[in-house]
Amino acid sequence: MDRVLFGDNQFFGVNHMSEDKARAQAMHFQTTQAIIDVLDAAHQEGIRTFMCTTHDRMSEICDYFRANRDRYPDYKFYPCMPYAHKYANAVTEHGMIEALRMFLPQGGAMSAMLKGGVALAGKDVETIMQLLIDAEMKMFHDLDTPVVFMQNVITDLLLGLRMNDTFRMFHDHIRKKYQAEPGFITMNVPRLLDVLDSLGIENPIVCANINKIGFRMCGGKEHYEQTIATRRFRPVAMSVLASGAIAPREAIEYVCRQPLVEAIVFGASSRGNIRQTKALIDELSINQGAA
Amino acid sequence: MIRTAMVGLGKMGLSHLAILRAHPALEVVAGCDSSAYLTDILSKYSGLKCHADFDRMLDEEKLDALVVATPSKLHATMVEAALKRGLHVFCEKPFVLDVADGQRLVAMAEAKGLVNQVGYHFRFVGAFKEAARLVKAGVLGAVHHVRIEAFGPVVLRPKGATWRSAKSEGGGALYDYACHAIDLVNFVVGAPAAVDGVVRRGIFSRDVDDEVYCTLRYADGASGQLSVNWSDESFRKMSTKISVWGTHGRITADRQECQIFLRELHPALPDASKGWTVRYTTDLTEEVWYYLRGEEYSAQIDYFAESIVKGRTQGENTFRSALEADRIVSMITGQSVGNPPPPGAQAVRKGVLARMFK
């Protein structure tokens, strides 16, 4: 993994501080070209990995990168699946089973079974999960996707439900079918690690909020610090700036002080902010390594 | 450990179940849903004991508490069955569709001294809590207007056949979105005495409202406007905003931030200066032990568990409080019914639904 990954919240109207700001960003990034311009700026600053939700709009971005492979020969995507609101809204409108059918391949055997009302027996859950993953991965065909993440809303739902086997199913399918490393985004790191350990998933990539003010770090900041220092996993820090609640230098200093944090993901909309944050991570990571 | 069961394992139910199972003081001993798809998967993959029959679950399991997340029309009978057995109850919103049912259940829960809570989770959102705190402290002076808005992308084309699209089952934007908005008004500024200027229309739905608008009237002459539309795709997800105007300033709050404009300083907000003060969710949010979708979902379940442990029956989001929202919904639908009886009083009237299910 590269040290710095580029995030996508700003592109899709997600802002944890302000709905007005989120809307302004959604307007700004109305066109795919506006998104590509920022990805291009980030690329010029040396950020070669885009960690992105499998939002419908991603498919046009994928088309662009496929068409311009020579310009971005080393570009990587880390898909994060699924874009949960797509499913949640469909469930509210159509009910759970019908919504599930809508996202499975049309005319497939599984879709027909659900329609026929056949109860979901043992192995079918694994098959459904694989089909849903494949549907989400379709837009990334022929692109480099060395890490594939499960979004936190799904990770933390399955974790709470104790559907532990589903983590292994995800892990196995991503490894086998995509020769990629599975990753898990979560707001509940210590609890997730316990479960992944119990499943024999070793040294997993886990992406979580890691920030100086302890924002959305369930179990507490100290527990997280201790976990990062002592447990065997590959942490990817997100929300390091806590949506702007922490000054950039102070924020990056904190996360760079955590040993073993392998990568930092951040999103920004302007070249200036991208450059500043990237430069801070480069500077403070070097200092940390030398210390 | 509080032995808890969960009935209704749809979208909201699964989210609750995940949080319940992660709670250190709760032991989820069983779940119940009529969908064999779901219960098969849950029992096989999560080890949860599942029932298809609600009454049988209550008969067979030794329970302390029940969480109800079934379609709204089933709430009253299920809550009643649980209260009869002496269980503490957490019920998803809206509480009941018939105010008379609600009055009876309020009286029953209070008479039996059971913990009773409804899932109006906005009361656990930091920015809304702050808005309510400031208004109650009198920071705005005399409140003269409130505006509540809830928009989101639920029904975007003319179809849909879930219970949410059936009026008689508590479907439509009125029960799904507007009751949240109404409860938030009740929380921040208090319940209005009357409503008028009601507009309810389907935009895409044939049988239910997709948009609801009305004027809220307060006894002291203050007014409010409610605007709800669940067919607005310009919002990524449900987005709720409340604005309150008073003689000393105004407050606007949504899930992310609380914006305050003050004409006069007030001791409840010691750090503020005249003019704008903005407080963000990062400052206002209290950490939860487990996060799924938003702190408020975990916080309300933690509050429920804490209420059981402490024997707190008059806390936040009681049946009595939630019934205030139902009462305003029934004013909007034109079936106005009076206030709930005081604590301890016995209910006198049975609702149509209760009779039907007897």
Torsion of CA B13, B19, B25, B28, to 10 degrees: 40
* CB neighbours of residue A63 within 10 Å: 13
Taking a contact as any Cβ pair under 8 Å apart, which residues of chain B between 166 and 225 contact chain A? Answer: 176
**Reported ipTM:** 0.91
- Whether B10 and chain A come into contact, CB under 8 Å, resolves to yes
The pLDDT of residue A101: 76
Which domains are present in chain A? 4-290 (3.20.20.100)
The pLDDT of residue A113: 62
CA distance A120 to A113: 9
Per residue in B46-58, pLDDT tens?
Answer: 999 999 999 999 9
Q: B64, B296 in Cβ contact below 8 A? A: no
Q: CA of A187, closest CA in chain B: separation in Å? A: 6
Per residue in A231-283, pLDDT tens?
Answer: 999 999 999 998 888 999 999 999 999 989 999 999 999 999 999 999 999 99
Whether residue A93 and residue B241 make contact (CB cut-off 8 A), yes or no, is no
- Whether B237 and chain A come into contact, CB under 8 Å, resolves to yes
- Token pair of A205, please? 């990539």
Which chain B residue has the Cα nearest residue A243? B282
- Whether B271 and chain A come into contact, CB under 8 Å, resolves to no
The pLDDT of residue B190: 98
Whether residue B236 and residue A95 make contact (CB cut-off 8 A), yes or no, is no
CA distance B291 to B252: 26
The pLDDT of residue A288: 57
CA distance B212 to B318: 25
* Residue ranges in chain B assigned as alpha helix (H): 11-22, 36-46, 54-60, 75-84, 99-112, 126-136, 172-173, 179-188, 281-284, 295-310, 319-332, 352-357
Q: B195, B216 in Cβ contact below 8 A? A: yes
Which chain A residue has the Cα nearest residue B176? A92
How do B249-253 and B257-262 pair as beta strands? antiparallel
Among B122, B291, B46, B74, CA closest to A161: B46
Whether residue A97 and residue B36 make contact (CB cut-off 8 A), yes or no, is no
Q: A80, A53 in Cβ contact below 8 A? A: yes
Q: How many helices (H) and strands (E) does chain B have?
A: 12, 14
In Å, how far are A115, A172, B62, B177 from A179, measured between CA atoms? 33, 10, 48, 44
Q: Which of A9, A93, A98, A153 to mutate to test the interface with B (most CBs of B within 10 A)?
A: A93
Q: How confident is the model at residue A117 (pLDDT cuts 50, 70, 90)?
A: low
* Residue ranges in B243-294 assigned as alpha helix (H): 281-284
The pLDDT of residue A108: 67
Amino acid letter, B63: L
- Whether B43 and chain A come into contact, CB under 8 Å, resolves to no
Q: CA of B320, closest CA in chain A: separation in Å? A: 28
Per residue in A195-234, pLDDT tens?
Answer: 999 999 999 999 999 999 999 999 899 999 999 999 999 9
- Whether B141 and chain A come into contact, CB under 8 Å, resolves to no
Among A72, A68, A79, CA closest to A46: A72
Q: CA of B10, closest CA in chain A: separation in Å? A: 7
Question: Which residues on adjacent β-strands are paired with residue A263?
Answer: A236
| B16 contacts on A by Cβ (under 8 Å) | none
Whether residue A245 and residue B280 make contact (CB cut-off 8 A), yes or no, is yes
CATH 3.40.50.720 fits B2-119+291-357, yes or no: yes
The structural architecture, per CATH, of the domain B122-284 is 2-Layer Sandwich (3.30)
Q: How confident is the model at residue A287 (pLDDT cuts 50, 70, 90)?
A: low
Q: What percent of chain A has pLDDT over 70?
A: 92
* CB neighbours of residue A86 within 10 Å: 17
Q: Is B99 buried (19+), middle (13-18) or exposed (0-12) by CB count in 10 A?
A: buried
The pLDDT of residue B336: 46
In Å, how far are A32, A72, A85, A150 from A270, measured between CA atoms? 15, 20, 27, 28
How do B211-217 and B194-201 pair as beta strands? antiparallel
Which residue reads 């096989």 in tokens? B44
**A3-7, A56-60, A182-186, B17-21: range with lowest mean pLDDT:** A56-60
The pLDDT of residue B163: 64
Which residue reads 């991603």 in tokens? A58
The pLDDT of residue B157: 86
CA distance A249 to A264: 14
User: For chains A and B, what is the number of CB pairs under 8 angstroms?
Assistant: 134
Q: Which of B34, B41, B242 to mutate to test the interface with A (most CBs of A within 10 A)?
A: B41
Low-confidence ranges of chain B (pLDDT < 50): 336-358
- B2-119+291-357 and B122-284 have identical folds: no
Q: pTM of the predicted model, to two decimals?
A: 0.91
The pLDDT of residue A112: 61
Q: CA of A160, closest CA in chain B: separation in Å? A: 4
User: What angle, rounded to 10 degrees, do the helices at A165-178 and A152-161 form?
Assistant: 140
Whether residue B290 and residue A160 make contact (CB cut-off 8 A), yes or no, is yes
Q: Delimit the domains of chain B by residue range.
A: 2-119+291-357, 122-284
